[in-house]
Amino acid sequence: MDEAFKNFGQPVPKKFIKEHKLDDGSTVKEFGPIVYGYSVKIGEDGKPIIRKFGNVDVFSHSITDSSHDTQQEREPLIDIINGKEEIKIVAELPGVAKENIKLYANENTLTIESSTSAEERRYYKKIEFPEFVEPSSGRSHYKNGIVEITFKKKNLTNKGLQINID
């Protein structure tokens, strides 16, 4: 944590500084968005599950280092709920309109991204499912900045298709 707090005192990277002219001719600087945080929940095994989110990594050597991994996209806060027959992903995407959210799934990953202009909030996250899912079963719902996506788990208990031997 000491390393993270050292980086908070560093100058803001240039790509996070925007200047705007006001009607009276003066110039205003905006900084950000710089987002970084953690989500902590207790898993079924009683152990904590810690996920980071945001668009910077405060644990890199320096927040202004040119090799520093800063992104224009934020990593949304997500929660993965592994039910008996389905997997639900809940992602927070505040400030994004429903029509700007794109979801892509295959049997082991879900990609969430928002496609908006540079002035608006943009999000990107690729999530690995804890178990295989049926991508075609995906259903989503969006309300008040929260998107919920539900998938049925893939049935891996059957033996599969029998193959005849010639």
Residues 6+ apart with CB under 8 A from 78: 39, 51, 53, 89, 90, 91, 92, 112, 125, 127
Please give the pLDDT value at position 61.
46
Render pLDDT for 102-154 as a digit per residue (tens, 0 to 9): 999 999 999 999 876 655 678 889 999 999 999 999 999 999 989 999 999 98
Number of domains in the chain: 2
Per-residue confidence (pLDDT) for residue 152, from 0 to 100: 95
Q: What is the pLDDT of residue 151?
A: 96
pLDDT given for residue 56 in this prediction:
64
Report which of residues 148 and 13 the model is more confident about. Answer: 148
98 vs 14: which has the higher pLDDT: 98
Give a yes or no: residue 164 inside a domain.
no
What pLDDT score was predicted for residue 108? 93
Residues 53 and 124 in one domain: no
Residue 33 per-residue DSSP state? -
Q: What is the residue range of 35's domain? A: 1-72
Residue 162 lies in a domain: no
Cα–Cα distance measured from residue 97 to residue 116, given in angstroms and rounded to the nearest whole number:
9
CATH of the domain at 148: 2.60.40.790
Span 35-93, pLDDT tens digits: 677 777 777 788 887 777 766 655 554 444 444 444 567 788 889 999 999 999 999 98
